[in-house]
Structure 1
């Protein structure tokens, strides 16, 4: 019973921080710190407003059951992530679906592959769900295909239900012979490729803007104006007064 109360308190803090997209750890989490970070401060708030929690959490918990170690926080976050993906997969069931894959680096300079699924639910609504980020040490089409295979295997998805794939226009994604798109099509001929319209539109707009002198001058002037005004609080206030 005592462990359940401690775990529930930690889970409440974890769910709140995840829902709000807030960081867990603080710069200084020592006992003398005036701000120990969001997780510990939120847990302390629960302690201050719930007598049952206060009797069993933080200072009143055994040294090996405080549930505040970084590794415990990561375990709780991973558990929440698995529950969310489990709900998404239960809604997806055996429906036909498409995947959207993109690459991005995080702040630790690690290459990542983000995966989304897109399907139609029982109400006829188009649902798009983010289902995970996987660290990839190599961005070749073979490495990305292997990561997708591992994700499909882990989540119990089948290529026989795959009906679409969407990426940007990088050569390793949509080349002609040995790209990711072709590798998936070899396994599932019905997984039609749809290029990223937003990415293509952005490239088109940039190319057109550079060729048009008036448009290029406008954006150059707008960029300079933003830099000049944004660098000074006084200029910012003066501009705001002019447009009141």
Structure 2
């Protein structure tokens, strides 16, 4: 399955590249430039899907530029109030999947929780969305790795991407979980989305991002909805 990227993602990459400047130049540009600081380990996964470490207040300007509809949060701890307030003020819904950040090599990612999170990520009604945990390495990397298997990536490329973010802190247990993760239980969900939005006669197996997606429905995930308290 291929997710097609368009101009919106090119715009985001442009914003991201503008942050790669000499520190002295950033200081001279002042507050406006400081408002475009991406979170640690930020990257685009695919069209309408991003990943990162935990966003700090200094990252809010950059997060705002993504025009997010949803955040997939993979930690068990409550969302900090400044972040929750940011979501409320921008109408962003929070999907929380509490996965413990265990460093024990014998502890695997919870399969059912990863499956639930993938259902949210695959539902285009939730896009654009940001996936994050604490550092954007292990929990986020495992979820994205399972998504890559759905996209028919070869395992070596999946592992290479995981290592790019986890670096020296890569965990064998995560790689084993990704390798053994059975995507067959999600194929019906994926094909349902494809054929709902593309039509049964389509030869292009990709997710379609059109206004029609608002009227479509798949399994309803659990979520915490933050609404603007001023409304």
TM-score (norm. length: structure 2): 0.21
Q: Which is higher, the Rg of structure 1 or of structure 2?
A: 1
Higher strand proportion = 1
TM-score (norm. length: structure 1): 0.20
Higher helix proportion = 1
